[in-house]
Amino acid sequence: MIEGHLKRQIISNLYFKKTLSAVDLSNLLGKSVPHVTKALNELVGLGYLEDKGLAPSSGGRRPQIYSLKGGTMYMVAVAMDQLYTKISITDTLNHHVIPAETHELRLLNNDEALAELVFLINTAIVKSEIDRDKIAGIGIGTPGFINTRLGMNYSYLQPPEEESLLSYLEKELGLPVSLDNDSSITALAELKFGLAQNRSDVMVVNIGWGIGLGMIIDGKLFRGFTGYAGELSHIPISESDTLCDCGKRGCLETEATLRVVTAKVMKEIKEGHQSGLKYDDSPEKMSEAIMIAANKGDQYAIELLSDMGYKIGKAIAILIHIVNPELVVLSGRGATVGKILLAPIQQALNKYCIPRLAEHTEVKVSAMGRKAEIIGAEALIMENFGTNTLSLKKAKAE
């Protein structure tokens, strides 16, 4: 892999910016133009970059610009929720070697989940036929209470005693691993490539089997002191006696997730509820059917999702009072029915928000939707690649 911190920073910046000149990189990295130019020429010689010629004229001397070269470095992106795991492998130009493949992998009360995850990732790498030396890293987004400083997930995927999840994965996979909460990397995707670009304070609500939150404060991803910031799922918003996976009652996650809606539909259809929806014993397929039906105007599906949206809106009202964001982005799987969710969310904001606090907060539906976590996992790899925080003995190359 690539030696030299500056070279890794250059590759990271080109991944996010697509094309840059030596002067651009000098300004971004705080390094002299000759120093940057030398590193650029070496990277071109090694085959990692392409000289794209002169930039369009804007007056004065036209600078030479550079971009990454496809097919020279690869990323393994892993997006997990409580029931399913998606894995994709792309190069740094986002050309797919293996498009995102979905695997059923239950996390809760599954002692074999970690071994299954390692097997799935190793299988994907073998299937890709890519030399591991060409893989920049593995980015993993997973639900749960993740301490990003210690590389631990205190909810799922428990490694052997006295070993962090991060170190265990790197040992078993033989590659640098970047690990973060699924909602944080969903927000990272929006920050780098989506609706949160060039915005200052944005809340990204990750709607899926759970309800997560990625927080962007002052234009940067905010993870909190130990990485636990954004646990929107577990704010108490109801008097329900339903026990949450976290061990508490009244959590948003027990009231307003696609898992809750899907379970309700499956139960009611089995009990004889009349609906155009057909029963399927796969929660994944049933969830998809509900969203498709809602977008086609099915009244039963719309009512259930509207109720979910209203409760999410109540939680967003709390966020607006605390953070005063300029934008709230509805992302994740639930963005598929974002237009249906917008009206009840706004209704809840009208009811629960102080108007002066809410009047300048927009609520928008992500264009990335369910792709956001995979995109965020890739972005996490390249962000760490450039900041030199990849763990595996500093990527073995430093």
The CATH number covering residue 139 comes to 3.30.420.40
Per-residue pLDDT 10s for the chain (398 aa) are: 677 899 999 999 999 999 999 999 999 999 999 999 999 999 999 999 999 888 776 666 788 999 999 999 999 999 998 889 999 999 999 999 999 999 999 998 899 999 999 999 999 999 999 999 999 999 999 998 898 888 999 889 999 877 899 999 999 999 999 999 999 999 999 999 999 999 999 999 999 988 999 999 999 999 888 778 888 888 888 777 788 777 788 888 888 899 999 999 999 988 888 778 888 888 889 999 999 999 999 999 999 999 999 999 999 999 999 999 999 999 999 999 999 999 999 999 999 999 999 999 999 999 998 899 999 999 999 999 977 555 554 444 44
**Tokens 């959590």 -> residue:** 251
- Check residue 397 and give its pLDDT: 44
- Check residue 278 and give its pLDDT: 86
Q: Are strands 135-142 and 177-181 parallel, antiparallel or unpaired?
A: parallel
| Residue 189 domain flag | no
Assigned token pair, 330: 């509805």
| Residue 186 domain flag | no
Looking at the fold, whether 103 and 235 belong to one and the same domain comes out as: no
pLDDT in tens, 117-169: 999 999 999 999 999 999 999 999 999 889 888 899 988 999 987 789 999 99
Full-model pTM: 0.90
Q: In terms of residue numbers, what domain contains 155?
A: 74-181+373-396
73 Cβ contact list (under 8 Å, min separation 6): 11, 48, 91, 92, 134, 135, 136
- Check residue 1 and give its pLDDT: 63
Looking at the fold, whether 359 and 385 belong to one and the same domain comes out as: no
Looking at the fold, whether 218 and 304 belong to one and the same domain comes out as: yes
| Residue 190 domain flag | no
- Check residue 49 and give its pLDDT: 95
> Considering 15, 45, 68, which residue would you say is the last residue of a domain?
68
Looking at the fold, whether 173 and 311 belong to one and the same domain comes out as: no
| Residue 380 domain flag | yes
Looking at the fold, whether 156 and 175 belong to one and the same domain comes out as: yes
Looking at the fold, whether 233 and 255 belong to one and the same domain comes out as: yes
- Tell me which residue of 355, 333, 352 sits closest to 344, measured CA to CA: 352
Looking at the fold, whether 25 and 99 belong to one and the same domain comes out as: no
What does the alpha-carbon distance between residue 183 and residue 67 come to, in Å, rounded to a whole number? 29
Query: What sign does the CA torsion over 303, 186, 168, 104 have?
Result: positive
Q: Report the CATH number that the domain containing residue 60 is assigned in CATH.
A: 1.10.10.10
Domain count, the chain: 3
| Residue 20 domain flag | yes
| Residue 39 domain flag | yes
Contact, 77 vs 88, CB < 8 A?
yes
Looking at the fold, whether 130 and 216 belong to one and the same domain comes out as: no
- Check residue 389 and give its pLDDT: 54
Looking at the fold, whether 237 and 379 belong to one and the same domain comes out as: no
Q: Cα 277 to chain center, whole Å?
A: 30
| Residue 187 domain flag | no
| Residue 154 domain flag | yes
Strand boundaries in the chain, DSSP class E: 20-21, 49-54, 64-68, 74-80, 84-91, 96-104, 135-142, 146-147, 152-153, 177-181, 202-207, 211-217, 220-222, 327-331, 362-365
> Considering 39, 68, 97, which residue would you say is the last residue of a domain?
68
Looking at the fold, whether 356 and 248 belong to one and the same domain comes out as: yes
Looking at the fold, whether 355 and 224 belong to one and the same domain comes out as: yes
> Considering 49, 68, 87, which residue would you say is the last residue of a domain?
68
Looking at the fold, whether 160 and 279 belong to one and the same domain comes out as: no
